[in-house]
């Protein structure tokens, strides 16, 4: 049986995401769905300024891109990775 509980997740922000939000991290509250795609949905709902930048954005967990269906654990480092611009 799966135990359901709410969870607070801190998400690291970089580049344009950090500029738009004005911070290098933000916190989202997840209800029963603790997946990466739930984090993206919550970010879109809670921070409308991010919406135009979220197309194609992915969640990285512990410095690796994660499957959208992967559950986040409280000990995970979570980062939002959007369009990059190195070089």
User: Tokens 């997946």 sit at which residue?
Assistant: 35
**16 is a site residue for other proteins (CB under 8 A):** yes
Q: Which of residues 46-85 bind other proteins (CB under 8 A)?
A: 60, 63-64, 79, 81, 84-85
Pick the closer one to other proteins by CB: 12 or 21: 12
- Phi and psi torsions of 44, nearest 5°: -65, -40
Please count the other Cβ atoms lying within 10 Å of the Cβ belonging to residue 7: 17
Residues in touch with other proteins (CB under 8 A)? 12, 14-16, 18-19, 60, 63-64, 79, 81, 84-87
């Amino acid at each position: 049986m799966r135990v359901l509980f709410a969870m607070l997740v801190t998400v690291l922000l970089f580049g344009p995401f950090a500029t738009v939000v004005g911070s290098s991290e933000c916190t989202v509250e997840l209800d029963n769905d603790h997946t990466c795609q739930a984090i993206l949905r919550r970010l879109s709902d809670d921070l409308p300024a991010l919406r135009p930048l979220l197309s194609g954005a992915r969640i990285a967990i512990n410095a690796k891109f994660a499957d959208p269906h992967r559950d986040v654990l409280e000990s995970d480092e979570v980062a939002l990775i959007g369009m990059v611009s190195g070089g």
